[in-house]
Every structure is written in C-alpha cells, then in structure tokens.
A and B are shown apart, each in its own frame.
Chain A
C-alpha cells in the first residue's frame, strides 16, 4: 500500500487528490540502485520537481521496522549521483537537492518514527491508511514537501493499484491476472506461452526487480498457471521444461475456433466454474414489440421500392449487429 499511495499522490488521474503532482513532483523511476559513501542503496520510488530541483526519495515500508544502515545510506545520497542513476532529466538550471521520505502503514508509523530517531535521522514519515495519507510530523519535512503534504490527503477513491502485486504477494493474488492473460492469449490465437513470457506479460513492472525477485515471480506465476490449467483441462495443458524447452502452457482449445455467437459463449465459459454461462433472464413482458413493427415496415418499403438513399440514411448500413 505505501508505494501505491505515494504514486497516487503524484499521479494526477483526476480521481484521488494528487498534492505531489500539483506541487510539481513527477515520478521518474523506481527501484533504482544508487551508490553512496556508505554503500549501495536501492531507492523504492524517486520523484523529481524540475521547477525547484527537488528529488524526493521514497522508502516504502510495509512492516514496522526500519533498517538503520539502509536509512543512513538513503540520507547520504548525493543528488547528482541520483540524477545519473535514475536518468533524471533536469530541464532548468536549478541546483538539485535531495530529501528522503519514509512511507509506511499508519498503524506502524510510531514504530517507524522511533526507529528513525534511534538511528539519529530526522526523516519525515508519511503515514498511510485506507482513509488518508498524512505526514506524521510536518516539521520534519522541508518547506517544499511540507507545503505539499502539510494537510492530510483524504482518499476519495481506493488507492490506485499501479503496482498491484510483487514477488512477496500471496499466491492467490496471481490467479486472476494469470487467467486473464491466458484468455488474452486465446484471443490472440497463440498456441502456447512460456512461463517467462507469461510472467513478463502478467507483471508489467517485471523490469523493476532483481534476479531473485524475478525468479520468485516466475515461480508464483507458474503455480498460478498450474491452478488455471487444473480448472480448464480441456482448454489448457501445462508442459514442464525439458532439456531443450522452457516450461509453457499449451492452449488446446480456444473460443476463437467458434463462429461469432459460439465465440462469446465460449469465452463466457472459460474459468467460469460452470460449463456455460446462463443467459440473463428475460423479464416477462419486456419482449421488444417495436422490432416487429420495424421489420414489417422494412418489408413494406422493400416491396414498394422506396429506397431512401440520401446521406444519413446511408449511414445506417454500417450498423454492427
């Protein structure tokens, strides 16, 4: 939640308030490793405000504890190194500066704040819950950051799910996305998909992760694929890796093989848990009687040969069924 909350505050989609975007910050990169005098540290989210040259480095914490060494490294980041590491474009001649912000769940904010104080750091903390995001102590933030986040930002809508899952997410979270990607593969008429390719399609932010996390994601996607195959054994088959081929899912049968009506019913049946989707019940008395009138009128017009061929009537010919 903390990462998505920070992203939502910085992405002006017009639904939730975006005070960081309103103040000029833009999300520039994620999961960027940066070399400091104390060693390398990975920045979860980096935002840049080009008007004032302000780099905001966000450390997103799901848990209640900080890692003091990591926190000190973050505090030691040289803005010029970060600009190069993140490939940040500086459009105006302003002196870059850097500020660290810890974002955490509101219920852990006291522990996080205490942990930072114990490490000798005066880093601002953004607390996030389902209702709002707010600085725990605005006085800890720079004037620019405090100006943007000085008041709590109440969520009007659920927080945007820019990063809907990661390598540490529970297994069941991957079932829906994997099933959808397999249906997309059916629609594209693909005969099979390797687990690596499927993972990169399901996890659009795959590029963020290191090799170990990527491996975890491939494993979780593979497990979700096996569960999907077990639900649809007539349509899908899992093919384990061999010495020469990668593990893949083979599409045995796709609704694309049917005609138009059969295709719709075929898709409705995929992963539905039932053989065939029931049609929506028709309420008695809702039969469209006007259709009968229209059909009768069309026949009458054809018989008398009165084909209206002016511009707008001609447009009717392109109607999709």
Chain B
C-alpha cells in the first residue's frame, strides 16, 4: 500500500502533463462509504487514514486526500477534461458535494508577493445585464509579468469596474526551500501545477483552501439560530397537553448583506432570471415583486435548502438558517460577480474582509 510520501511519485509535478488538484466540498460522516459510492467500489485504501486511491476505469486515478474533512483534494494526472467530467457528474447528482466557489478577490490575491504570469477574467452579463450596458460581456486573458496590472487599470474605469471578474490566474512561486512552482488556479477550485516538489503544490493548495474555508465558516457563523432554552426533559414537559408556555430560545446570527456597485435597472427581469432554477445559480423561487423591492423564499437546488432572499435596486439580503451550507452564499456571490457585478461587496466589514483578501503588506 502507498502512503502520503508517495504522492509526489504518483502525481509528479515535473511530468509531461501538469498535475491537477480538484478541491471539492464534501459532507459525509463516512468517507470510505462515500468514496465507494461515487467510485462504484473502485477505491483502494492506503497506509494513511485520510488518503485513498480512486480508480476511474479507462481514464486513470485520483489520489483523494480527505485530511481536511470538509474540503477534499482530488489529485490526478488524468487529462483535465476527463477528470473534470467525471467529477462534474458526481457533483451535479449529489446534495453532499460541491465545488469551491472562490470569490474574484481570492484569485486576484491568490499568492501575495508571487509573480502573476497569466490572468483571465470572464464577465458574462448576458442574462442579468442590460444590452445597453457598457460591458455586457468582458473577457480578458493576458500573459506577462504582473499580468493583473492591466485588469487593475480596467477596474479603475467606472464604466467597466463591475465587469472585471477573475476567472483564472497563473502564478510563479520560487521558494528557496521548496523550489520553483508554477500554479494555475480556477475559481471553481481546480489547480494545475508544474514544478519540482509535490509538497510545495500541496501547501499552496492548502493556503488557498484555508482562506476559502475561513470565508465559509464566517458565513455559517452568521446563520440565524434559535435554540430552545430547556433540555429535552423540560421540552417533553412543555409538550404535555396542560402546558402552554413558551420555553424561550437563545438567538444568534445576522442576515448577510450584499451591496452592488451598480443599480439593477430591470428588477423583475433580474429576479426572474436569478430564481429560474438555471445554472449557474440553480436557485428556485417565486419572487414577490414590488417597484423597488423583491422578497423570495428561494431554494438552493444544489443542496436542497430553502433560504430567504430580499433584493433591492443595489442591495441583497440573504437569510441563512442554522445548518445551512455557507457554500450556498459563496456560490451566489461568485456567480453574481461573474454575471452582474464583480465589484459587489459584503455589507458587514468583518465578512467583507475575508471575502476580499487584500495583499499582505510587505
């Protein structure tokens, strides 16, 4: 059996094809059963309790690292298209599995201090932006040292600042101890790497995932939670026919606010599209629309969870309830950045701080 130290040999960074790591958000209590289910029993244990080999017939294998019990790494040297298609089928058919949904700023500042070699932005406002808008669809790919600087220039132009949404970035890292590494990262949590040391790549992935996990945890910490004040025995007593007194509940949480940098001109059309059940939002809802305000009991079809949403001309409020997945909000934010306003901000400063990473000084 293999162990963690074999990862560098099985997923070589210096091979003829780049090593890939897909990061998936997985909710399971039984990792092996989960893997056996998605991998139709083509799973092999290793010496490491959190590392498995998952074989894809006629295509190759994934080395699955579940050390972070929520964000799993699927390492592979399979062709990207094959690996992505195989994982996409699992993600789309399950309620317990999702991609990462990196906010634009997490890509923009993916490796503070590193040389960004190539960047790509994709803004596709075809469904949510008016055809009269200055930028309905804006895609830029630039290769060169500090490639992000052109995008900063475009962002500085008021009519385009909402349309610069980072989709992928490639950076070159050169660590005196870990060696050189070229890393490309896509907003859905796909990493492609070429270099010398797998450990360097793994640590880079961990850094990006760690930042994203902090955002998800910060979102979930704001979920509205009503916790009964009495224990179960007292609850039973409360539920007896003679008693009709509230038990009281402790309360925590706060709605999550989004501020847009631009106005929603056609609020009805915007909401009909947003809650149409279509990808990428996959939100279902029957919005109650007044002139400047929309209320909707929406359903995140990806996870099958209801969430309340309000929309105004330049803001949105999301009510996440206890037990809901923070990825729901991250997916909404990431897709709004791609499809409506890349310059949106989260209205709570402490939440915005973890969503919009600023470069580390020095």
Q: Looking at the assembled complex, report how far the CB atom of A154 sits from the nearest CB atom of chain B, in whole angstroms.
A: 15
A277 to B251, CA, bound (A): 40
Q: List 23 A-B contacts (CB under 8 A).
A: A13-B254, A13-B347, A15-B259, A29-B250, A30-B248, A86-B250, A158-B293, A160-B317, A164-B308, A176-B288, A180-B285, A181-B297, A183-B284, A204-B226, A204-B322, A205-B226, A212-B244, A286-B131, A312-B170, A312-B184, A314-B192, A317-B79, A318-B186
**For chain A residues 290-321, which have a beta carbon within 8 Å of chain B?**
309-312, 314-321
Q: Is B228 an interface residue (CB 8 A)?
A: yes
Q: Is B360 an interface residue (CB 8 A)?
A: no
From residue 56 to 80 of chain B, which have CB atoms closer than 8 A to chain A?
Answer: 79-80
Do residues A312 and B168 form an inter-chain contact, with CB atoms below 8 A? yes
How many chain A residues touch B (CB < 8 A): the figure is 71
Contact B312 A157 (CB under 8 A): yes
Contact A208 B246 (CB under 8 A): yes
Determine whether the beta carbon of A311 is less than 8 Å from that of B18: yes
A207 touches B227 (CB 8 A): yes
A185 within 8 A of partner (CB)? yes
Q: Which residue of A lies closest to B252 (CB)?
A: A27
A268–B347 alpha-carbon span in the complex (Å) = 31
A315 with B310: CB separation less than 8 A: no
Q: Evaluate contact between B255 and A162: CB separation under 8 angstroms.
A: yes
In the bound complex, residues from chain B placing their C-beta under 8 Å from that of A107 are none
Please give, as numbers and ranges, the residues of chain A lying within 8 Å of B319 by CB-CB distance.
Answer: 161-162
Query: B residues bordering A, Cβ < 8 Å?
Result: 16-18, 20, 22, 79-81, 83-84, 87-88, 92, 95, 99, 118, 120, 127, 131, 168-170, 182-186, 188, 190, 192-194, 224, 226-229, 238-239, 241, 243-252, 254-257, 259, 273, 276-280, 284-286, 288, 293, 295-299, 301, 303-306, 308, 310, 312, 315, 317, 319, 321-322, 346-349
* Contact call A314/B80, Cβ cutoff below 8 A: yes
Contacts of B99 in A (CB 8 A): 320
> Which of B81, B241, B255, B276 counts the most A-chain CB atoms under 10 A from its CB?
B255
Give the residues in chain A near B288, CB-CB below 8 Å.
176
Q: B88, B224, B293, B321 — which one has the most chain A CB atoms within 10 A of its CB? A: B224
Tell which of B81, B169, B254 has the most Cβ of chain A within 10 Å.
B254
Chain B residues near A31 (CB, 8 Å)? 246-249
Contact B284 A180 (CB under 8 A): yes
What's the Cα separation between A304 and B87 when bound, in Å? 29
B251:A30 contact, CB within 8 angstroms = yes
Residues of A within 8 A of B256 (CB): 13
Q: Smallest CB-CB separation from B193: which chain A residue? A: A311
Contact call A32/B229, Cβ cutoff below 8 A: yes
Digitize A180-197: 1 where CB-to-B-CB distance is under 8 Å, 0 elsewhere.
110111111100000000
A253 to chain B, nearest CB (A): 16
What is the CB-to-nearest-CB distance from A291 to chain B, in angstroms, rounded to a whole number?
12
Q: Which residues from chain A contact B182 at a C-beta distance below 8 Å?
A: 311
Contact in complex: A180, B297 (CB < 8 Å): yes
For the complex, give the distance between the alpha carbons of A87 and B245 in Å: 17
B336 to chain A: closest CB distance in Å? Answer: 16
Segment 270-290 of A: residues with Cβ below 8 Å from B: 270-272, 277, 280, 283, 286
In the assembled complex, the Cα of A86 lies from the Cα of B229 at a distance in Å of 7
Complex CA gap A31/B247 in Å reads 7
Residue numbers in B under 8 Å from A202 (CB-CB): 306
Are A30 and B226 in contact (CB-based, < 8 A)? yes
Given known pairs A160-B317, A268-B276, the reply for A33 and B186 (CB within 8 Å) is no
A186 to B277, CA, bound (A): 13
- Inter-chain contact B88/A208, CB cutoff 8 Å: no
Main secondary structure of the interface of A (DSSP, over half): mixed
Question: Chain A residues near B20 (CB, 8 Å)?
Answer: 314
Distance of A260 Cα from B245 Cα, bound (Å): 48
- What residue in chain B is nearest A317 (Cβ atoms)? B80
A318 to B182, CA, bound (A): 18
Q: Is there contact, CB below 8 Å, between A207 and B249? A: yes
Q: Contact at B310–A161, with CB atoms within 8 Å?
A: yes
Q: How far is the CA of A310 from the CA of B168 in the complex (A)?
A: 13
Q: How far is the CA of A260 from the CA of B315 in the complex (A)?
A: 31
The reply to whether A40 and B80 form a contact with Cβ atoms under 8 Å apart is no
- Flag if B248 contacts A32 (CB, 8 Å): yes
Which of chain B's residues have a CB closer than 8 A to the CB of A162? 224, 255, 319
Residues of A155-183 contacting chain B, CB below 8 A: 157-158, 160-162, 164, 176-177, 179-181, 183
Please name all residues of chain B whose beta carbon is closer than 8 Å to the beta carbon of A157 when the two chains form the complex.
312, 315, 317
Contacts of A209 in B (CB 8 A): 246
Contact check, B348 vs A177: say whether CB atoms are below 8 A apart: no
Q: What is the CA–CA distance of A205 and B246 in the complex, to the nearest angstrom?
A: 12
Q: Which residue of B lies closest to A85 (CB)?
A: B248
In the complex, which of the residues A87, A176, A268, A312 contacts B297, with contact meaning CB atoms closer than 8 Å? A176
Check A211 for interface membership: any CB of B closer than 8 A.
Answer: yes
The smallest beta-carbon distance between A166 and chain B, in angstroms, is 11
Encode A62-106 as 1/0 by CB contact (under 8 A) with B.
000000000000000000000001110000000000000000000
Residue of B with least CB distance to A181: B306
Tell me, rounded to whole Å, the shortest Cβ–Cβ distance linking B274 to chain A. 13
Interface centre among A33, A177, A187, A283 (most CB of B within 10 A): A187
Given contacts A42-B245, A188-B95, 19 further A-B contacts (CB under 8 A): A15-B347, A27-B252, A31-B248, A32-B246, A32-B249, A86-B229, A160-B317, A161-B308, A162-B255, A180-B298, A180-B306, A184-B304, A187-B303, A206-B226, A264-B279, A272-B286, A280-B273, A311-B193, A315-B185
Given A30-B249, A176-B288, A314-B184, A211 and B244 touching (CB < 8 A)? yes
In residues 236-293 of chain A, which contact B (Cβ within 8 Å)?
260, 264, 267-268, 270-272, 277, 280, 283, 286
Residues on A with beta carbons closer than 8 Å to the beta carbon of B243: 210-211
Tell me if A139 is interfacial: C-beta within 8 Å of chain B.
Answer: no
A212 contacts which chain B residues (CB < 8 A)?
244
- CB of A37 to closest CB in B, whole Å: 18
How many angstroms between the C-alpha atoms of A136 and B224 in the bound complex?
30
Could you say which residues of chain A place their CB within 8 Å of the CB of B183?
311
In the assembled complex, the Cα of A202 lies from the Cα of B319 at a distance in Å of 13
From the candidates B120, B255, B286, name the one contacting A176 in the complex (CB within 8 A): B286
Q: Could you tell me if B304 and A210 are in contact, using CB atoms closer than 8 angstroms?
A: no
Q: How far is the CB of B140 from chain A (nearest CB, A)?
A: 13
Residue of B nearest to A319 (CB): B84
